[in-house]
Amino acid sequence: MQNALHVVNETGTLKKVLVHSPGIETTSFTSDEFSSVFALRPTRTSFDYDKAIEEHRNLVKAFEDSGIEVVYLKDLVIETVEHDEQARRELTESFLSTCSVSGNELLGALRAYLEKATSATNLVNMMLAGMRYEDVLDLPTATSSLAQAVGMGFNPHGLMVNPMNTLFFARDPSVVVGNGVCCNHMYWNDRNHEATLHTVVFRHHPMFKDTPLWFEPESSFHIEGGDILNMDEKTVLVGMSQRTEAAAIDVLAASLLWNPQSTVDTVYVVEVEENGTRIHLDTYLNRIGPETFVVDRAIGENLHAYKIERGRKQGTCTVVSLDCDLDQLLALVADVPSVRTISCETPSFNRTVEGAAVETLVLSPNKLCVSANNAIMNRKLARAGFDLIETSLDELTSGFGGPSCLCMPLVRELD
């Protein structure tokens, strides 16, 4: 029987991916609320739902036309909690613990509201869409409440819990490593709602029964999927960034190196600087062939890299600082004598990198899915011998990533 999860590289034939299609969570707000609800889209003042849906459908079609099985996160969450009362309770409690609401009165009212959900679909839709005070609370009048009388009560139309409007960035909350998965603790607290959905699926859905979790969202430290790249079954490359802190990498490394279900024996780490829309390792470099990487060479300036292996004592690790340049590091993690790099240095450098030119997704050897907006980089890739599937993602990503951040590979063959 084929493993439900199996990803040990970024370059083999992609067989199965997890996605989330934009839905009610991207429409359940007013125009005045956009800047607070879509806080992670600072350059935009609106979200074109119809355009985003069209972009996502075209991306999914590109996957399916390439023979890739596509499964939807929302469907899996509904299936998970529909017939498993324990999973439903766990999802509810996790949602409550990660929302911005605190205190007995408000959390009690929110729990009661969620428990009124008439079906699994209804419950999941409520969580995705967010909740307003008037939905959850029986708000008093000014004559029966001092807070209301002095103008310090809740705005009935205000959002009590924000919608999960970045849920379509499917690789951030979880990422498969080998036959297991990292369910992440996100940098932004609002996005931990998303991680609760991923986690309940990987803990309870029959498809993923007994799947090892290398990292869990209850961790004290934050880590995100765009900073984790599989090199081979024994090697993982992790970006140490604003979104993925060093302490989280320590936790992940210990888990991967010592868990008997893991095949990883080496974790390489490279420091990643946040710069505009480049926030994860996969916006600076991606492996697109056995000896080929697409890179933003800015990551090689003042390079800080490390190698983590098992320590002598059970459960411990050894960390060694590496004295190397970018090409040497890439050859080391790829386990090859030398590498070919395709970089995005061009006269239109800023436009190229801000359009997520490095954020490519390998569909199969020599076949890449890329953002159609990156004409300069795409010409370079084509001249290098790669077949390209170009798709427009401007509304979905707003420059924050490309095809690989919009899907989470579940099964990928060896090179």
pLDDT digits (tens, 9 = 90+) for 202-253: 999 999 988 999 999 999 999 999 999 999 999 999 999 999 999 999 999 9
| Same structural domain, 178 and 157 | no
Residue 185 lies in a domain: yes
| Same structural domain, 196 and 340 | yes
Residue 169 lies in a domain: yes
N-term to C-term CA, the chain: 20
Residue 311 phi, psi dihedral angles, 5° rounding: -85, 175
What is the secondary structure of 145-157 as a DSSP string?
Answer: -HHHHTT-S--TT
What's the mean pLDDT in 158-186?
96
What's the mean pLDDT in 64-93?
98
| Same structural domain, 41 and 178 | yes
- Mean pLDDT, the chain, as a whole number? 92
| Same structural domain, 200 and 125 | no
Closest of 151, 133, 402, 156 to residue 288, by C-alpha: 402
Closest of 278, 225, 216 to residue 405, by C-alpha: 225
| Same structural domain, 374 and 232 | yes
Q: Which of 140, 161, 182 is the last residue of a domain?
A: 161
- How far, in Å, CA of 339 to CA of 355, rounded? 24
What is the domain extent for residue 126? 101-161
Whether residue 203 contacts residue 164, with contact meaning beta carbons closer than 8 Å, is answered with: no
pLDDT confidence bin for 399, thresholds 50/70/90: low
| Same structural domain, 58 and 113 | no
pLDDT value of residue 42: 72
Q: Is the pLDDT of residue 375 over 90?
A: no
- How far, in Å, CA of 28 to CA of 36, rounded? 13
> In the 8-state DSSP scheme, what is residue 1?
-
Q: Please give the tally of structural domains in the chain.
A: 2
| Same structural domain, 332 and 402 | yes
| Same structural domain, 237 and 335 | yes
Residue 91 lies in a domain: no
pTM above 0.75, yes or no: yes
Residue 87 lies in a domain: no
Please give the helix or strand (H or E) that residue 175 lies within, else none: strand 174-177
- How far, in Å, CA of 124 to CA of 117, rounded? 9
Six-digit token string for 146? 């001092």
Residue 96 lies in a domain: no
Task: Kindly state the percentage of the chain with pLDDT values over 70.
Answer: 95
Please give the helix or strand (H or E) that residue 127 lies within, else none: helix 120-129
- How far, in Å, CA of 415 to CA of 161, rounded? 44
- How far, in Å, CA of 133 to CA of 27, rounded? 18
Look up the CATH number of the domain holding residue 263: 3.75.10.10
pLDDT digits (tens, 9 = 90+) for 277-298: 677 999 999 999 999 999 998 8
Whether residue 249 contacts residue 228, with contact meaning beta carbons closer than 8 Å, is answered with: no
pLDDT value of residue 346: 54
Position with higher pLDDT, 1 vs 257: 257
Residue 120 lies in a domain: yes
Residue 6 lies in a domain: no
Q: Which of 142, 161, 180 is the last residue of a domain?
A: 161
Tokens 């999973």, residue located: 87
| Same structural domain, 145 and 177 | no
Q: Is the pLDDT of residue 126 over 50?
A: yes
Residue 119 lies in a domain: yes
Whether residue 55 contacts residue 384, with contact meaning beta carbons closer than 8 Å, is answered with: no
What's the mean pLDDT in 107-124?
96
Q: Which residues are catalytic?
A: 405
What's the mean pLDDT in 294-322?
95
Instruction: Count CB atoms within 10 A of the CB of residue 254.
Output: 18
| Same structural domain, 28 and 48 | yes
pLDDT value of residue 414: 87
- How far, in Å, CA of 153 to CA of 300, rounded? 53
Q: Which residues in 351-371 are b (16+ Cβ under 10 Å) and which e? A: ebbbbbbbbbbbbbeebbbbb
- How far, in Å, CA of 285 to CA of 341, rounded? 9
pLDDT confidence bin for 353, thresholds 50/70/90: very low
| Same structural domain, 126 and 219 | no
What Cα–Cα distance (Å) separates residue 151 from each residue in 93, 127, 134, 145, 242? Answer: 32, 29, 16, 10, 39
| Same structural domain, 203 and 330 | yes
What is the secondary structure of 346-410 as a DSSP string?
Answer: STTHHHHHHTTTT--EEEETTEEEEETT-HHHHHHHHHTT-EEEEE--HHHHTTS--GGGG-EEE
